[in-house]
Amino acid sequence: MTKPQTNAEFLSARPQYLQSSSQIRAYVDEAVDWEATHGLLLRAPKLDGDDWLATALIPAPVALAPSPIPRSEFDKVVALQPVFNQLFDRVSRDHDFLTSALESLGSADEFTLRILAMYIRQRTLGVWKPGVVGIHRSDYLIHAPDNEPDASPLAKQVEFNTIASSFASLSSIVGDFH
DSSP string, 123-157: HHTT---S------EEEEEEE--TT-TTSPPEEEE
What is this structure's pTM? 0.70
pLDDT band at 2 (very low <50, low <70, confident <90, very high): low
The β-bridge relationship of strands 57-59 and 41-43 is antiparallel
Contact indicator for 171, 28 with CB cutoff of 8 Å: no
Predicted pLDDT at 168: 72
Alpha-carbon span 67 to 13, nearest angstrom:
9
* Per-residue pLDDT at 1 exceeds 60: no
pLDDT band at 165 (very low <50, low <70, confident <90, very high): low
How many contiguous H segments (helices) and E segments (strands) does the chain have?
A: 6, 4
What is residue 55's three-state secondary structure?
helix
Predicted pLDDT at 95: 92
Alpha-carbon span 137 to 164, nearest angstrom:
8
What is the rounded average pLDDT of the residues 115-125? 91
Instruction: Output 101 or 50, whichever has higher pLDDT.
Output: 101
Predicted pLDDT at 166: 65
* Per-residue pLDDT at 55 exceeds 90: no
pLDDT band at 56 (very low <50, low <70, confident <90, very high): confident
The most confident of 8-17, 63-72, 145-154, by mean pLDDT = 145-154
